[in-house]
Structure 1
Amino acid sequence: MKSEYQELDNIVLTMDEVQTDPVILTYLISHLLTRNSVFHQPRVGCVKCKSTGELVYPQSWIELPGGWVVDLRLNQAFNTFDRYPQGIFEPSSYRNLQYFGMPLIVPEFELSELDEMTDSMFSKLFSLQGMDIRVSGGRYDCI
């Protein structure tokens, strides 16, 4: 993994504890990336396993520069435990997977709304990680 994504991957993998819809999880991760000035493109669509022909729809993920992807729900979507990557990975390393999708528009949320969507797990996760999330100008900062 690219060293610049290693710390981000640790944070993203922590988000896996949030038991919520994949699209909501994509919103949460996108908000963190936006607040930390990480260029990214949220997407929604489907993922195909080329060897079996199995298609998972709807699926959401985030594309990062250099062809990297953030996807925490791939194994869950395919009903597998450890067969597919989780977190930040290069899809080109998994030639059996094919992503199809379009840009996903992520609305702006207040910290209270993010907590409401996750039963307060959003704030709890980051306080456990030693991060401080502050509301700033109607948005939150992850420090």
Structure 2
Amino acid sequence: MSDWHDELELALLPLEDLRVDSVYMTFVISSALGEHGILHQCRIGYAEDRLSLMITAPHCWIELEQGWCIDLRLRQWLGDEDDLPHGVFQPSSYPRVRYRGTALVVPHLDVEDLRAMTNDAYSKVKLPWLAGQAAAA
């Protein structure tokens, strides 16, 4: 993982323990990324564990440039195992899981809504500078 992706994952840690589903988690993370001008695409569909054949649907996640993803909810449904993705990752590093989905349009949420949705954890998210992303590419 590049330093920038590592910093991004650490910045998102305040959201990790929220008791929200993948849809709301995606809304919250997308809002933070959008505020900082970080290009991303929200997705909705399903994730399949090829080992257990379990599917979680609907499931949402975020795709970043160069194939990186963000998912802080998959292990909630499929188990807390090291070979299941969590955080910021390259899907190719986790062949056990297959993601399939389409674009998800995220509604605009103001900062007060985001803070309320997250018990103020949103205000603790401090994302790395976009310039770091370009260096990591």
- Which TM-score applies when normalising by structure 2? 0.83
**Which residue is equivalent to 2:135?**
none
Identity %: 34
Q: How many residues align?
A: 125
1:7 deviates by: 1.1
Q: Which has the higher contact order (CA 8 A, sep 6+)?
A: 2
One-letter amino acid matched to 1:28: V
1:82 deviates by: 2.9
**Which residue is equivalent to 2:81?**
82
Q: 2:119, 2:5 → 1: CA distance? A: 28
Question: Which 5+ residue runs of structure 1 have no aligned equivalent?
Answer: 130-143
Q: 1:65, 1:2 → 2: CA distance? A: 13
Q: 1:63, 1:91 → 2: CA distance? A: 10
**Which residue is equivalent to 1:14?**
14
Structure of higher CA gyration radius: 1
One-letter amino acid matched to 2:81: D
Task: Please tell me whether the aligned partners of residues 13 and 72 of structure 1 are also in contact (alpha carbons under 8 angstroms).
Answer: no
4+ residue stretches of structure 1 with deviation over 3 A?
Answer: none
Q: Which aligned pairs between 1:1-143 and structure 2 lie closer than 5 A?
A: 1-78=1-78, 80-83=79-82, 84-123=84-123, 125-126=124-125
Q: Over aligned residues, Cα RMSD in angstroms?
A: 1.5
- Cα offsets for 1:18-47 (capped at 9, x unmatched): 221221111110011111111100111100
Task: Please tell me whether the aligned partners of residues 48 and 56 of structure 1 are also in contact (alpha carbons under 8 angstroms).
Answer: yes
Q: 1:92, 1:110 → 2: CA distance? A: 34
Change (3 A) 1:13 1:121: closer
- Cα offsets for 1:48-102 (capped at 9, x unmatched): 1112221111111000111111000111021x12341210011101111100101
- Which TM-score applies when normalising by structure 1? 0.80
**Which residue is equivalent to 1:134?**
none
Q: 1:118, 1:51 → 2: CA distance? A: 33
